[in-house]
Amino acid sequence: MLTTPPFAPSVLRALHTLGIGTHRHLRQTGAVKTFLLLKASGHTLTRSILWQLAAAEAGITVYELTAEHKAALLDALKKHPPADLPPPECEARQFMAAALQEARQAAAAGEVPVGAVIVRHGTILAAAHNACIAQHSVAAHAEILALTAAGQRLGSMRLDGCDAYITLEPCSMCASALMQARIKRVIFAAAEPKSGAAGSVCNLFADHRLNAHTAVFGGILADESREILQTFFRLRRTT
């Protein structure tokens, strides 16, 4: 079990809230990611906490960490993909179900069935689906349309604190737009092995050269999304 010392009681409580209560849990998550998750939880952190986490992960004392080890930790922290807490499963499934309904509307209109919703503080701000054919635009992807509608509703192009639920892993165009809009978390259903830019082909969200700050979670209701897509393309091949 992680104990006090070396961790302060407040840090220990925060770790337990994250489900990290033992050295095994810490090793599974990693010191750097754990540090970022604590920060995402709203805690003010210092480098000393990172040293404590790294030492506990390695099974040594903080005093045994070398200067080289500390420098490597800071470099890993700088290069680590954005980290955040995932949404509660019941909430994620609820909002992804709304995005899937948008995808079904797209399929009914003859569009590639992808849907997206933008959520803030537990409320859907905007919902959209692919409309490339209807709008005669390659840019009319569900994500772009949902971002636009949410921005209009909030009166800002910056959507700080908002989450995007998308039925298919976003392409590079949409991934870039999601980052530019300052979306906090992207939650997608099915992976897109041919053009996905959230880990399948590339991961723009993890590229710090692009001022990355959006955490990504995949696999929520993935089977349902794949079924909608497969049915759509199967029907197209037979008509």
* C-beta neighbour count of 185 within 10 angstroms: 22
d(CA 234, CA 125): 33
Catalytic site includes residue 143: yes
Among the listed residues 111, 143, 169, 192, the single catalytic one is: 143
d(CA 187, CA 115): 12
Q: Is 136 annotated as a binding residue?
A: no
Q: Is 174 annotated as a binding residue?
A: yes
Q: Residue count of the chain, please give it.
A: 239
Q: Is 162 annotated as a binding residue?
A: no
Cβ-Cβ contacts under 8 Å for 102 (sequence gap 6 or more): 115, 116, 117, 127, 128, 129, 142, 167
Please tell me whether the peptide bond between 6 and the residue prior to it is cis, using omega within 30 degrees of 0: yes
| Cβ–Cβ < 8 Å for 108, 228 | no
The single-letter code of the amino acid at 131 is: A
User: Which residues are tagged catalytic?
Assistant: 143
Binding-site residue ranges? 141, 171, 174
Binding site members for Zn(2+): 141, 171, 174
